[in-house]
Chain A
């Protein structure tokens, strides 16, 4: 699927360079953020690995052999963004050193094989694998399906790029200037060969390598799957308390508060001093302290839980309840945000210290 120079018009090549650039920049930034100074050797040797994987001849049933790309395999091992850089690097070495794939078409080749393939294939892998154990058969098959889908989507993009050429770039007499096949011809040709042969080879290699690592070298699988247990390969129970369940309970309780309006009488201890039934408490007069502090907080936003003169007490009650809950939630979120910023600063300081000490 390595497109050589000459098949695509310079305009198409330029457009695909432009399309690939934001992905390269994003990949560089994300990978560096995750693995910091380990970034360069990890991605470099990932690229070397990818280059060698493309050289492996995989036997197919008719006695011949085929090559795999390995983009999704590297995405499963090192993460999708590391795969973007690793596969791009391998493709550039092939283009410059061996003339395998063009220099002007490098943007197109990278877009198809180093961006579309690992990103889509990895998404499929994550979706199919779900929360299954790291050693489960389902995970190996999910990686294989990811490889199959990723390669076929990559082939589809290449077919569309080829197929657009004759319609857009031709001489006055109809002679195509670049790839001569139309989209109605390139899509079936490319897709049949990739769906039936190349995709199956990609499936076999990707699933085969994951299955091998599951039984022979599980720690390698954990590079890109840090949340899985060391012994069983199952996903570990997170230590932090989940916020979803308490939030649901609190929401139900908040929604049920207007029920209080239906209750007869008034809440204990909330009556104004003048409304108190003094005889009930064996008192002759309201205590001085209570009288003094009863009118202490007159500047509340919703004084007496209602609007002016208690025109609509029920509405006032509900509105003030909602506003109060919102204020508390806001304060809580602010506290969490500040804590997170403080924690991040601390970890940056620690990392910096570690680097200095190293």
Chain B
């Protein structure tokens, strides 16, 4: 049993995909999932991610012990530094450092890497792929691909560098944000937003919005599961499907409004006068100061190396 599993408070079976949610048809043949299954899978995936994040944030790793305000400011500082870096090699080296921090913060590496790289090939990779061609990014052709309508077509060195730069920067930026959010409880992260001059009322709104996501997600799930339960054949008809989605969204709005009214009454009953309060922050320790100093140092070193590499 790994260290990460030892501190898990959510039952393991709840964090794994169930066979029942497999989109296999009869005869075990794989078929395209419909919108109903996709939404149900999406919502269970969301709950699973949140449960796992909560477990990791509650464990005792390196980053969990840092004050949330210091952690938030230092991660934003790193994000800014990363956005100024002009060399993919440096970004990849910095990515390796985030893996070390993830390990020290008891984040399962497989989960951490999967969470970042699962989406990057789909969204960023495909988007920047055409940019490697000389028709988009002009430059020295390194991989000729023949001629099209009399024009030379090929992958340019500049295009490859640009693609590598953007993919590595996106990966590193997401990793930094994931490091922050996986090691900080949501309520603590919200109170830390005060240090970035976010108004208190907005923090209360964020906290409430997050809290009711799960209640309304449950309501949505019930509607979709009911639809799935009474559908024998795969739901392919897009027009009736759209009508169902619109009706579900409309009905969800009604339930959300009822909930808002009830919550308001409950708040007024507890003397709510519009004054927002957030969690009191802890006292900043020596460890936090050291962490912040280290982050500033690393950010400066990265920027100095980047400038010395030229380009």
Provide the residues of chain B in CB contact with A325, threshold 8 Å. Answer: none
In the complex, whether A300 has a CB less than 8 A from a CB of chain B is no
Task: Please tell me which one of the listed residues A28, A185, A211, A216 contacts residue B251 in the complex, with CB atoms under 8 A apart.
Answer: A216
Q: Are B242 and A59 in contact (CB under 8 A)?
A: yes
Q: Are B80 and A217 in contact (CB under 8 A)?
A: no
Q: A58-B242, A96-B181 are in contact. Are A49 and B273 (CB under 8 A)?
A: no
Which residues of A17-56 have CB atoms within 8 Å of chain B's CB atoms? 28, 32, 36-49, 51-53, 55-56
Instruction: Report A253 CB to chain B, min CB distance, Å.
Output: 51
Provide the residues of chain B in CB contact with A40, threshold 8 Å. Answer: 201, 204-205, 208, 267, 272, 274, 276
Provide the residues of chain B in CB contact with A318, threshold 8 Å. Answer: none
Per-position binary interface string of chain B over residues 140-168, scored 1 when its CB falls under 8 Å from any chain A CB and 0 otherwise: 00000000000000000011011101100
A319 to B49, CA, bound (A): 79
Which residues of B195-235 have CB atoms within 8 Å of chain A's CB atoms? 199, 201-202, 204-210, 212-213, 216-217, 220, 235
Per-position binary interface string of chain B over residues 234-256, scored 1 when its CB falls under 8 Å from any chain A CB and 0 otherwise: 01101001110111111111101
A166 to B207, CA, bound (A): 38
A41 to B86, CA, bound (A): 44
In the complex, whether B263 has a CB less than 8 A from a CB of chain A is yes
Q: Are A355 and B162 in contact (CB under 8 A)?
A: no
Provide the residues of chain A in CB contact with B123, threshold 8 Å. Answer: 4
Q: A41-B260, A96-B189, A175-B162 are in contact. Are A104 and B80 (CB under 8 A)?
A: yes
B246, closest chain A residue (CB): A208
Task: Please tell me which one of the listed residues A13, A28, A174 contacts residue B199 in the complex, with CB atoms under 8 A apart.
Answer: A28
Q: A6-B166, A51-B209, A174-B138 are in contact. Are A220 and B201 (CB under 8 A)?
A: no
Instruction: Report A13 CB to chain B, min CB distance, Å.
Output: 7
Q: Are A49 and B216 in contact (CB under 8 A)?
A: yes
A186 to B82, CA, bound (A): 24
A102 to B260, CA, bound (A): 29
Q: Are B139 and A175 in contact (CB under 8 A)?
A: yes
Q: A5-B170, A10-B84, A45-B260 are in contact. Are A208 and B242 (CB under 8 A)?
A: yes
Instruction: Report B284 CB to chain A, min CB distance, Å.
Output: 22
Q: Are B264 and A57 in contact (CB under 8 A)?
A: no
Instruction: Report B304 CB to chain A, min CB distance, Å.
Output: 17
A96, closest chain B residue (CB): B181
Question: Residues of A within 8 Å of B, CB-based: how many?
Answer: 80
Question: Residues of B within 8 Å of A, CB-based: how many?
Answer: 92
Q: Which of B42, B43, B79, B220 has the most CB of A within 10 A?
A: B79
In the complex, whether A205 has a CB less than 8 A from a CB of chain B is yes
Instruction: Report A312 CB to chain B, min CB distance, Å.
Output: 64
Provide the residues of chain A in CB contact with B128, threshold 8 Å. Answer: 180
In the complex, whether B50 has a CB less than 8 A from a CB of chain A is yes
A212 to B84, CA, bound (A): 49
In the complex, whether B305 has a CB less than 8 A from a CB of chain A is no
Chain B residues engaging chain A, CB cutoff 8 angstroms: 32, 34-35, 38-39, 42-43, 46, 49-50, 53, 76, 79-80, 82-84, 86, 115-116, 119, 123-124, 128, 131, 136-139, 158-159, 161-163, 165-166, 169-170, 172-174, 177-178, 180-181, 186, 189, 199, 201-202, 204-210, 212-213, 216-217, 220, 235-236, 238, 241-243, 245-254, 256-257, 259-261, 263-264, 267-268, 272-274, 276, 311
4 A-B pairs besides A48-B209, A180-B159 with CB distance below 8 A are A6-B169, A58-B35, A64-B32, A85-B205
